[in-house]
Each structure stands twice: as structure tokens, then as C-alpha cells.
Structure 1
Amino acid sequence: MKIIRRANESDHAELMELYQKDIQADEKLAERFAEDLIYKMKTLVCVEEEEIVGTVSWQVRGGLEDGVIELIGLGVDPEFRREGTATKLVDVLIRDANAYYESQGFPLRFIYLFMRAGNENARAFYRNMGFTEVSEVPDMFPHDHGILWTKLLSV
């Protein structure tokens, strides 16, 4: 059974392992990745049988009254893809961000994210999640263009 919860310090080593396994075998970058997820961003982890199988991170952008967040990163272990994990993570992120904004007396209105233009699976995923592809950002990433996606939640 998959459980989604906030990332915490006890996840540090496992987040480093995930980075090195799925992104790049670089210990320094893995260390920074884990620290950013735990200390700088609001991060949720999906855990199955005590193993982290997915993460999603977000941050407030602008003032609270703007009601805007950026979805910084979403990742699912390749062995656990196509099981609804990413959908659950984004759904819980929206609930978590809504609760955060409500606790501050403001509505969550808008989510945006950037992704690599060449990632067709992500394109289909975000489209199915109700996001709108807004524009291409040339040379945003070292080896690819970026795509800006948005989702309006309330007006």
C-alpha cells in the first residue's frame, strides 16, 4: 500500500540514493538534491513497503495573496511508473498547497511548472492532469528547450 507523507530528515540517505540511481551518479549533487527537497522545498514522498518510490516538490511564488505555487519537481522510480503514483502525488500536492494557503487566509489559485520539451510522457501526463501547455522557452535546459505549463484552480 502506498502512503504519501511529507519528506523529513530520515529520508536523506534514501533521497540521495534515488538521485544517484535515476538521475546522475554524483554524490555532491545527490547531497544537494536531498537537502533541497527536505529543507528548501515543500516535498511529499510516496512510500511503499518503507521504500520511497516517488517525490513531488513545490514552493510558494509571489506573495501569499497571489495564490501561486511552482511545482518544482515530480519523479517516480521507473519500477513504479504507470501505477498512478504520479497522479496521487500531484493530487496530494494540490490538497497540501490548498491547506497551506487556507491556513494563511488565502486561496490557492494557480500552479505552474517547467519541463523539458522532449519528455513526451510528461507532456501527456500534465495534459491529463488538467494543465495547459503555455509556451516553449528556448534553451532553458542545457540540452533541451523548456515548456511552461499552468493550471488555474480558482479565480
Structure 2
Amino acid sequence: MEKASVSDDSPDSSANCDWSQLQADLLLQIFGTLEIPDLFSLGAVCRSWHLIYLEARRLPRCSPNQSPCLVYSSGDRDADTVTLHNMSTNKLYHVTLSEPAFRTRHVMGSSHGWLITADKRSNLILVNPATGAQMAMPPPETMNNVRLRYTEEGVLDGYDVLYISVLFGF
């Protein structure tokens, strides 16, 4: 039986591959399993991967097994920039968010990589700082039991929550 041999002058098999032609849905699945540093790095590989990276940032597909990151607004960056400090690698990553500026928001809580932030008017905005995705929640005044409270000068001063007691006769 004859053995197959590889000559030294044969081209490397990966050198002939055009990695930029990988299917977008496959790349989205791969990007969704990566750690934040790898996700950011792959977005810089080539133009087609950068477009998929931007798509991945809009989708809540980040892996739940991410290394922990501290999230804050750094004084040496713009007010709309979120700084992610990866605790396992000690690297910093910066993500620019759209208005309102991240530094002007209050962080109310977090869950599964999403932050619950509130702007000056108490409008809630869900933010995924790793991807830059944001989702505005309905404003408080759209709830039936919430009324806006203004000062005499017409400046918003807060909200009144009206409690309605409903008794059901059974």
C-alpha cells in the first residue's frame, strides 16, 4: 500500500481559503459564542466580517459564559462612551452608545449582560454594553397609574404613583 505524502512546496490549505466569504448566519452563530475581546477583534478582520460584527452587536446573542466585566463611564472618554474592563484579561474596551449619553444615566440594575438605565426623566433604556444594543421602554407617563408632577415653574419634579384598590365580590 502506497503512503500519501505532502511535499514541502504545496501551498498551505488555509492560504487558499477566502474566509471573508463565510456565510453570514454561520458567522452570527460563531460570534454569539465568543468572549467580548474576541468579538471586538473579529469585527476588525475584514469588511464583510465587520458588517456581520455590526449585525451581531444589534442582536442579544452574546454567550452567557462571558468573563465578568466592570462597566463604567471613564472620565478620559466622551460622555457617550461605555468602558468595559474585562476582569480576566485586565483589558479595556470602549463602546459608543447613542443618546442619551451614558454618563448622564443612572444604572438601575442588570440581568444577563443587559443594564437597566434611567435618563433624567426616568425613562428606562435597556443597554447591552458589550454589543451597543439599546431598547427604550415605554415612558412612565404612559402607565395608567402614573402622573407627572411639575414645579410652579413648569419643570418636571417627579412622578406620582396612584394606587387603585379594586375589590372583587365573589
The verdict on a shared fold, with TM-score over 0.5 as the criterion, is: no
Q: More helix per residue: 1 or 2?
A: 1
Which is strand-richer, 1 or 2? 1
Q: Which has the larger radius of gyration?
A: 2
Q: TM-score, structure 2 length as denominator? A: 0.27
Report which structure shows greater RCO (CA 8 Å, sep ≥6). Answer: 1
